[in-house]
Structure 1
C-alpha cells in the first residue's frame, strides 16, 4: 500500500510503513502518545460506506485535545466514520473527475 492522501503532498506515493500495518493487524485502533507527548499517533483500519476495509488510516490527535489514549481513539474513530461515509468503494478513491 502507498499513501494516497496527506497534508504534506510530498508524502503521496510513499509506501506505508510495516509498523502501521502491524499496528492495525488485529483490527483495533492503536494510538500511543508519541515520545515528546505532543500527540497520539492513531492507526486504524479504513472503511467504505458499506463497512468494507479499504486500507488503513493514520492520523495525529493533539495531546491537548484528548484526555487519554482512549479519548484520542474515540475522536479518531469519529473522524474515520465521517470520512468513510463519503467513500462508496475503494475504486472511487482513484477516479478522476
Structure 2
C-alpha cells in the first residue's frame, strides 16, 4: 500500500485472455489517474475509493489525499461521467484526468 493513500482491491480478478501464439494467459487492464479536489484525510481517501471501486469493471483504486490523485485499474476504459458521478457521490469534485 502506498504511503498516505488507501489501496482498495475489488474481490473479482481482472479478465484474462489467451495469447493465441503461446497459449498463455495475459491479463488486460487499463490504468487511469484522475485529479480530485477536496480530499484531506484518510476518511476522504476511503470514501472516494469505495464509490469509484463500486463501478463495474474496476479492480483496484488508490486514492491519495496529499496529492489529490486517484489511480484506477479497470478491466477496460471507464466512462468519465460514471467516474465523475462516483466522486460526486463521495462528496468530492473530479477535476479531470491527471
Q: Normalising to structure 1: TM-score of the pair?
A: 0.29
Higher helix share goes to which structure?
A: 1
Higher strand share: 2
TM-score of the pair, normalised by structure 2: 0.29
Q: Larger radius of gyration, structure 1 or 2?
A: 2
